[in-house]
Amino acid sequence: MKELSLNILDISMNSVKAGAENILIKLVETADTLTLTIKDDGCGMSEDTVKNVMNPFYTTRTTRKVGLGVPLLKLAAEQTGGGITISSVSEKDNPDEHGTTVTAEFFKNHLDFTPLGDIVSTVTTLIQGSPDREWRFEHILDGGSVELDTKELREILGDVPLDNYEVIKWIEGYLREGYESVNNV
């Protein structure tokens, strides 16, 4: 993947497929690290499955026999000296509180750090594709933070769906302006 934001898009799709109602994408940056957390309340995975998702030849899909999403994120993190952890509680084991959390740590000053890229485009793509889920995005940087919560938007929007084109454009503009004001600090 050319941008970390593409890995984030890809991994977040797993949360959608897991039937999550709430998905959090959180980025925390310091001078030399970037920590990514993707947390969902989807169906979760058994312990065995958690072990298997690191393996590129494991997939739940039937159209082909390799699942590269998690291995690619792992590679992107490890090649900077960081790594990933996955914790998950399956719905079977705990019907009341289940879901998956993927955490990845990157060292930004490493030569092999993949730039974050167009994260705004990733967030709008996710909301456009799955407007029925609640998305929370937080990016904490040195100069401040950029945040978006679809629950808050929905309260204002009422019956107008989140994938309405003007709403998507508003979200895109809102996030881009958020980044501009953080960068200008």
Partner 1 sequence: MKSLAELAAIRDKMKDKVVLREGSGEIRVVVGMATCGIAAGARPVLNAFVEGVSNAGLAEKVTVSQTGCIGVCQYEPVVEIFEADKEKVTYIKMTAEKAAEVIEKHLKGGKVIQEYTISNAIS
**174: contact with partner 1 by CB under 8 A:** yes
Q: Are 20 and 40 a contacting pair, CB within 8 Å? A: yes
CA-based nearest residue to 142, from 93, 97, 182: 182
96 or 166: whose CB is closer to partner 1? 166
**58: contact with partner 1 by CB under 8 A:** no
**156: contact with partner 1 by CB under 8 A:** yes
**17: contact with partner 1 by CB under 8 A:** yes
| DSSP category for residue 151 | H
**124: contact with partner 1 by CB under 8 A:** yes
Q: DSSP assignment of 80-113, as one string?
A: TT-EEEEEEE-TTT-SSS-EEEEEEEEETTSTTP
**164: contact with partner 1 by CB under 8 A:** yes
**184: contact with partner 1 by CB under 8 A:** no
**Cα-atom radius of gyration of the chain, to the nearest Å?**
17
Say which residues have a Cβ less than 8 Å from residue 95's Cβ, sequence separation at least 6: none
Instruction: Say how many CA atoms lie within 13 Å of 73 toward its Cβ.
Output: 25
**Minimum distance between the CB of residue 167 and partner 1, rounded to whole angstroms?**
6
Question: Considering only residues 20, 25, 27, 153, which one is a binding residue for partner 1 as defined by CB under 8 A?
Answer: 153
Give residues in contact with partner 1 (CB under 8 A): 1, 6, 9-10, 13, 17, 61, 63-64, 67-69, 72, 118, 121-122, 124-125, 128-129, 152-153, 156-160, 164-168, 170, 173-174, 177, 181
